[in-house]
Structure formats: structure tokens, C-alpha cells
Structure 1
Amino acid sequence: MDSPTSAGDSSTARIVARSSMMDSIRACGLSGLAGVRIDKEVLRRRLLMPEYLRLAMLDSIKKKDVDGGDQHFRLHGSDDVPCPESPMVVFINPRSGGRYGPILKERIKQLISEEQVFDLHDVKPHEFVRYGLACLEKWANNGDRCAKETRQNMRVVVAGGDGTVGWVLGCLGELHQKGREPVPPVAVIPLGTGNDLSRSFGWGGSFPFAWKSAIKRTLHRATMGPICHLDRCSWHVVLQMPGGEVVDPPYSLKATEECSLDQTLEIDGDVPDKVNCYEGVFYNYFSIGMDAQVAYGFHHLRNEKPYFAQGPITNKIIYSGYSCTQGWFLTPCMSDPSLRGLKNILRMHVRRVNCSEWEQIPIPKSVRAVVALNLHNYGSGRNPWGNLKPEYLEKRGFVEAHADDGLLEIFGLKQGWHASFVMVELISAKHIAQAASVRLEIRGGEWKDAFMQMDGEPWKQPMNKEHSTFVEIKRVPFQSLMINGE
């Protein structure tokens, strides 16, 4: 074992690890709402926006023009129009998890309206923020009472996996950056495979079997649930890579013209004449190495053969089987550079809490995946960092881990066997550091690609022999808001 845990902590951890059944119950809306009858028409009145607002927002989004829906306001006054108590929009990723998105889309349209349900293949969340919400804000400032109340009280539901939730939250974060408050809070319908972010906020870890009644209960809970402030629970990622390389990053990582890397840590070697920069936000974890490579391969397998994606349980079985084929469990040739540890390509610096100096942290030779974990849900509800004894924390210079402490827990996974034992909590992960900021430097050599992922959304990162790729992670300076589903 890498570190001991107390008997009580170990017992508690196992209870958490075996909570998938309770997650399903919560996802079905049976926790807290058991026996409560939710009237469909009453719920609809609470959620449904007036038609002229719905159409104005939709036209603005389609035309990518804040003024695109003006005609609907000129035709309809708002003085005698009732405003909804909890106006709501729903984003659905039809390709998440078991691909229940199309079914959910039709069901939710029946419960609310077609214009308030957005397929993420057709409408991106940043388009909703920049045009749909901006349309409401414009007419609220022009004196439209219903537009003002709708904008103030709006809530958002995301039907998808952790990556989809993070994508929407990151786009909504633009509102805070530009002073366009309030930021709508977000609830979740878990459609992904792991759904660790969803679990962390009480929305369950799997799509329920009794989905028709569950959707109605979920929308009801989304209107009533308390709001959690995530000002200390989200992390900004900057990626700087040599220019000329081609990368296909996840939706949550966007191209930007400038890289804001910390200048107090000097870069060794020459900086290329041209660099490409990306930035984004994650809420649960960032990882590099073999776990991201397995996730990348699984995503491509599922996209090429969608008939495999029949539900979270099926996905997990396929995922486990796929990981066995990638050399993580059985390394056929240690001389193959693609199967060596991350020490060969990765250099890591961290800033500890209340410290301005960067400190280089060695990567253990045996480690093949490095994970920076925030919310302590990883691998479908596990906590690989563990509940550590006080004497071990003191010895290593760590503090007790909390989701809102402004620290990332950085740990390593060795082989697939080690990762498997960590997931069932027979042993702990390889504890590396706790950090308030992280700088990763990746240099190729014989390696051509590295694999990374943010909140379960993986990508292949090309590497250069002459110039390094940098990833810098810092806490987000603005708030994101989640609705607590418990």
C-alpha cells in the first residue's frame, strides 16, 4: 500500500464506492420526493416561458444576432403576460453515455416547450449565452418586465456526462467575466458513463430505468434545489503548444489568441516562433497518461460503433474490456517508448497554498497516469486519494482534502492492476502532491503523442521533440453555480 487508512475511514470509503444503487434511486427521483405526486400542468406553468420570449431567444440564436428576435417584442407587450416562477432551459447531448438523448429530448419538449430544449449538436452553450440570454437582457433593459423576471430567475438543466456539464458551466462563466449577472444555476440529468460531477452534487450516477417519471421529478427538483457556489471548485486550464501541430481538443477547451502562462516560472530552452493556445475550465479532474489514452480509445470505439452504447452498465463493461487491450495491464515490451512511465516526457511544478514560489515535484518512475482531482469523485464515484490518517498527512505535509479547499489532490496510477485495486479501495493511489496551481511541461523525444482528459473528455495531444507543450492549471477567479439535487 502507498498509505494506510483508518478502519473507520476504509469502511466509509467502501460505503461510498458501493453507492451506485442509491445513486440510481436518487436519479429516479425517489429520494426526497418518494410518494410526492407532481402535476404535469402545474410543473409546466412554473417552467414555461411566454411564447414571444421563447421565439425571440430562438431567432437570436439562429441568426447569431442579439437583435434577431426584436420583431417578437414589437408584436407582443408584456404587461398582461404571466411570467413563469422558474423559467428553465435544457441542454441535451444526444451522444452521451447510453445515447438516451433523443428520447429525453422528446419527453422534455412535452413537459416544457420545443424552444426551451436545445440539442447541443444544433445549439452550442456559448451561442445561447451570447445571443439568447443577451436578447433577454437587451429587452429587460428596455423595460420589458417579463424579460427581466425571466432572465433573473432562469435555471439550466444539462442532460449529459461530466464533460457536457463542464462545457455548459464554462460557457455560463462568461456571464460573470463580463458582469452579466446573475449566472443561471445548473442541474444535471446524468447520461454519461462515470458521471462523477453529477454524483458530487446529488444528481445520481446513472440514467434511471423509470425515466418517464424521473424526468418530471428531476425538473421539479431543479426548480426547488438549493444553489451551491463553486467559487473554490472550478479550475482554469491554459494549454500552450508549438505552432503547426494539429489538435482536436474537447468542447470545453477553446482556441485563444494569447497564452497567459505565469511568467514567474521561466521556460527552459527556446520558445518556438509560433504557438497555439487553448483555454478552458474543468470542475472535477484533469489527467494525463494511460487513463486518458484508454478513455480516448473508448470514445472513438463508441463513436464508430454506436450500437455498443446501450447504457452506463454496458459502457462500463466495454470500457473495462477495452482497457485490457491497451497495454496498461500487460506490457508486452518495456522497450516500447509508448509504454514507459510518464517520467520520460513530463515535468511538473506546483504552487502550494499561500505560496508564491513554484516547486518542482518529481514524477515517480512507475507512474503511467497522473490525475489532478478536485471533487474527490473519480472512476464512477470512487475516491482514490482516500481518507488518510492524521499522522500520514503530517508526515507528507498534506492537509485533509475537501472539495472547496482551493487545492487539487495530485496522485498517480501505475499499471491497470494498480488502478483496479485503487478503485475497489484495497490500496491507495500514489500520492504525489496537493497544489493550488500546477504547471505541466511535456516534451516528446521518441513519443509522438500524449493523451489528456478534462472531466472525462479525452484528446490526443501531439508532442514536439524540440519544443515543449505547457499546461497550466489555476483556480477560476469567478463563480459557477450548481443546484444541489439531494
Structure 2
Amino acid sequence: MDSSAPEASRRTARASLVESVRDCTLAGVRISKEELRRKLTMPEYLRLAVTDAIESKDIDGAADRHRLSAGESAESPEFPLVVFINRNSGGRHGPKLKARLQDLMAKEQVFDLQCVEPDQFVEYGLRCLEKLALGDLCAKQTREKLRVVVAGGDGTVGWVLGCLGELHVQRREPVPPTAVIPLGTGNDLSRSFGWGGSFPFNWKSAIKNTLDRAGRGQECHLDSWNISISMPAKEIVHRPHCLKPVKECYLDQGLEIGVLPEKVSYYKGVFYNYFSIGMDAQVAYGFHNLREKKPHLAKGPVSNKLIYSGYTCAQGWFFAPCMSDPKLRGLNNILKMFIKKTNCSNWEEVSIPPSVRSIVALNLNNYASGRNPWGKLKPDYLEKRGFRQARVDDGLLEIFGLKQGWHASFVMADLISAKHIAQAAMIRFEFRGGERKEAYLQMDGEPWKQPIVEDYSAFVEIKGVPFRSVMINGTVSS
């Protein structure tokens, strides 16, 4: 008997096992590349019509050029997907991921955000598909089943969610649910809905798993929050793309406002994860500027976090008591905060503790790469403070404070909770300067330097968007 036969058999079995594991979902079911492609890929005429409409900005013409001829028919895929990739997010995995995705579905369903922005897809691509759906069953079913995957960080996901939300706000059209491939540094939106906190090491096979889950996952909801800024007429320098200048915005009635000059600048935006004021935003601002000027330094999540930690130390957050610079003092010197609670029409002023140097209004249970600074609070404590257990779809923001860097470090290590301040359905911040000429603000990881002056107030008002974003739960089982 050949003694090498058992060893050869074992080698074959091991190879088979490795291949099976590589191509499995989390539930252990093998995903066939060909089968997945069949389930994902839209018929060619629909793909070409969508891309033609985006490129030509001619919805009617694109629909007419690619409409099926009389007697022709096509079948809608089981779960049609489109993917948006931010190639500059996190560790710059976008180009190789784009090639992999185009191998798993049609290339026309994979959009590079440097070439096609999500509002262009919504305005032209989806409208073309909707026009075809009026007399085409395949197009109708494809539009109804369409789902979106965003490959990027929290800022990218928020950008796409905001554009998709306009479908409901402006056209009352159904909004495709969204899944995430985490390419950013923190990826808290991705973590909150079961898509993981980082780009997977075995990404080639993991992407198949992600697309399969994106097609089969259950829909869930996410609160989103409008932010309005009214300020003395100045331009916000290095303004994040999620914050847009507008002609006018109105502050909620019922609260006497501070002094505004005759000339006022207005900005509006939407956030999904958090809004913050203070030292954490100042650190993020320094890091963001460095990454823009020297992108070669930000090669991945690990290097990003090391640079971020360096900025935290350099900005004086840890050693503020030793310094006299007014920029390093508590926020209560420049800031007033007012809140409205659920089903309450009256504003309530909330005092800001002198020790607090960052204030965060948090929507998710994840913050700063998966931390939960609000914590899992006990029922007795919730009842005593008048709080509810935090959820992403409860119409409330959790407001907490961070003190010096040491306090923030212990909070981020989950050794202690942050300074609980309030839960609110609406928030208004009033800024007034003095020695300080600016404050640092950020939302969903996008920071900016907010001008403030001594003679006039600047206001930031936050209130919930009536429409909740539609997400896909990534923790589905087979």
C-alpha cells in the first residue's frame, strides 16, 4: 500500500478546508463568486441608462436611448446593489477595492466618489431608473429592491446618507437602505450596524461576505440631526463639505436670543454620529490639516491613530492647568447651552461645568473608534437623572463632557464614564468671544474653526430630521 496516500489525502483535505473558510460567510455558508454576481448585477440596459444619465445629465434622453425594444424582456436581480467608494478614506484601500468589486458585479454599479458624487447619482441616475420603471417591470423591481453600499469612513457614509435622504424630503420616493465597508479611521457608524471597525485583513473573500450580507440584511433606522449656524458675517475657513452656506435659517422660537448684527452668515448641515465643541475638535482640526498637507503620513488606521495621539498631547489638553493661554480654559467662558426635552416646548438652560473642555452630543453608541463614553447606565441611575437608555433611533442626543486629557483617556479606555450632562431632543449653543477669537467644532469627524467675537453672539442649533435614515443590519445570519 502506498504510504504517501494518507498524507496526500490530508493535504487535499486541508487545502479544501482553507478554501472553504476563505469563501465562507460568518455563518459558514460558502459564497460562490458566480452566484453572487448573478444576484447583484443589474441588466446591462439599466446599468448603461443610469451611467448615461449621470454623464449626460439628460434623464429623458438616457431612458429613451436604453429602453428595451418591443418584445424584449429582462429579469431583475435578487438584490441589486450600487457601491460608492471614497478612495482617500483611511488607509487608501479604494483603488484595489474598486477593482475587486468590479470583478464581483458590473463595473457600472461601482462609483468612485472622486468621479461621481452621490447627489449626481440621486438626481440623474435614480431618476432615470424611475422613469424606465413607469412601463418596465424589470426596472420597477430593480428600483424597489435597490440597496447601497458605502466604502469609506463616517464622513463619507454621512455624505451618502444625506443625499439619499433628499429622495424622501424632496420627492417622497423610497430611500434605498445602506450598508458599510469600513475604510475610515474610527468607523463608528460601521460598528454600530454590525459592519466591523476596520478594513478586513482577508479583504478579498470578506468583501463577498459583505455584499451577500448587504443584500440579505434586515433594515433598521438611524436618527439624523440638522445643524443650523447663525453668526456675524464671516466665512468659515476650511469648511467641511457636510456644512453648506445658505441664505437664511430660523432659530426656534420660545427663547430670547442674544445680539446678532445686521449682516449675518448662515450655514446648515446634517450629522449622524456626533457633534462636539472644544479640545477634541481642536485636535481633530490639527490632524485633518496635516493629513491634507502630507497625505503620505496617513497610510492606515494605525498610523492615523498614532498621529492623532501626538496631536492630543501637543495641543495642551493634558497639561492645561500649567498654562495661562485663554484658549486652554473651560468652555463655560465662551459658551451657553440650552436644551429641549422630548414632548416639551420650553427651553431649559443647562450649566456647563467649569472643568469641561469638550462637549459632545452623541447619537450612536460608538464614539472615537468603538468607545461608549455614555456607558451602559443602570436603571436606578437612569431614573434618578431622568434619562432613557440610549438608542440610535430614539430621537434623543446624549450630551456629555470631557475634562482634561487624562480624564478623556480614562473614558476612552472604558475605565470610567464621561461627565453626563443631559439628554435632549433639541440643543442650542450660544457663543460669545472675548480673549478667544475662535472655537473648534466638529461633526462626524469633520472639524472646523468657528469664528467668534466679543460684541455679537453666534448660534448653533441642533434638531432632529423628521425622516430617519434607513440602514442595513450587518449581523444577519444565513
Q: TM-score, normalised by structure 1?
A: 0.89
Structure 1 residue aligned with 2:4: none
Task: Give the counterpart of 2:325 among 319, 336, 340.
Answer: 336
Partner Cα distance (1:32, 1:74) in 2: 37
Partner Cα distance (1:38, 1:74) in 2: 33
Structure 1 residue aligned with 2:113: 120
Change in Cα spacing, 1:275 to 1:31, as seen in structure 2 (3 Å) is farther
1:224 equivalenced with 2:216 (yes/no) = yes
Task: Tell me if the contact between 2:438 and 2:451 (Cα under 8 Å) persists in the aligned partners.
Answer: yes
Deviation at 1:290, TM superposition (A): 0.7
Code of the aligned partner of 1:113: A
Deviation at 1:52, TM superposition (A): 2.1
Structure 2 residue aligned with 1:445: 434
Code of the aligned partner of 1:198: S
Change in Cα spacing, 1:431 to 1:77, as seen in structure 2 (3 Å) is farther
Code of the aligned partner of 1:470: F
**Bigger shift: residues 393-402 or 277-286:** 393-402
Residues 270-308 of structure 1, C-alpha deviations (whole Å, 9 max, x = no match): x22232222222222111111111112112212222222
Code of the aligned partner of 1:200: S
Deviation at 1:159, TM superposition (A): 0.4
Residues 334-393 of structure 1, C-alpha deviations (whole Å, 9 max, x = no match): 321211111111111000122110011111111111000111211111111122333433
Structure 2 residue aligned with 1:211: 203
Match of 1:118, SS? strand
Of structures 1 and 2, the one scoring higher in RCO (CA 8 A, sep 6+) is 1
Change in Cα spacing, 1:477 to 1:416, as seen in structure 2 (3 Å) is same
Code of the aligned partner of 1:167: W
Code of the aligned partner of 2:179: A
| Two-structure CA RMSD over aligned residues (Å) | 2.1
Q: TM-score, normalised by structure 2?
A: 0.90
Task: Tell me if the contact between 2:258 and 2:456 (Cα under 8 Å) persists in the aligned partners.
Answer: no
Task: Tell me if the contact between 2:185 and 2:304 (Cα under 8 Å) persists in the aligned partners.
Answer: yes
Runs of 4+ in 1 over 6 A off after TM superposition: 28-31
Deviation at 1:67, TM superposition (A): 3.1
Partner Cα distance (1:151, 1:334) in 2: 59
Structure 1 residue aligned with 2:255: 265
**Bigger shift: residues 286-295 or 298-307:** 298-307
When Rg is computed on C-alpha atoms for both structures, the one with the higher figure is 2
Code of the aligned partner of 1:199: R
Change in Cα spacing, 1:67 to 1:242, as seen in structure 2 (3 Å) is farther
Task: Give the counterpart of 1:256 among 242, 246, 251.
Answer: 246
1:377 equivalenced with 2:366 (yes/no) = yes
1:430 equivalenced with 2:419 (yes/no) = yes
Task: Give the counterpart of 1:240 among 230, 237, 251.
Answer: 230
Code of the aligned partner of 2:268: E
Aligned length: 455
Task: Give the counterpart of 2:146 among 141, 144, 154.
Answer: 154
Partner Cα distance (2:199, 2:71) in 1: 39
Task: Tell me if the contact between 1:53 and 1:72 (Cα under 8 Å) persists in the aligned partners.
Answer: no
Partner Cα distance (1:242, 1:474) in 2: 22
Structure 1 segment 89-104 matched on structure 2, within 5 A:
89-104=82-97
Task: Tell me if the contact between 2:276 and 2:360 (Cα under 8 Å) persists in the aligned partners.
Answer: yes
Partner Cα distance (2:250, 2:92) in 1: 37
Structure 2 residue aligned with 1:421: 410
Task: Give the counterpart of 1:66 among 54, 59, 64.
Answer: 59
Task: Tell me if the contact between 2:40 and 2:79 (Cα under 8 Å) persists in the aligned partners.
Answer: yes
% same residue: 68
Task: Tell me if the contact between 1:52 and 1:76 (Cα under 8 Å) persists in the aligned partners.
Answer: no
Structure 2 residue aligned with 1:194: 186
Structure 1 segment 145-184 matched on structure 2, within 5 A:
145-184=137-176
Partner Cα distance (1:29, 1:419) in 2: 39
Match of 1:178, SS? helix
Partner Cα distance (1:229, 1:30) in 2: 30
Partner Cα distance (2:208, 2:25) in 1: 14
**Bigger shift: residues 306-315 or 326-335:** 326-335
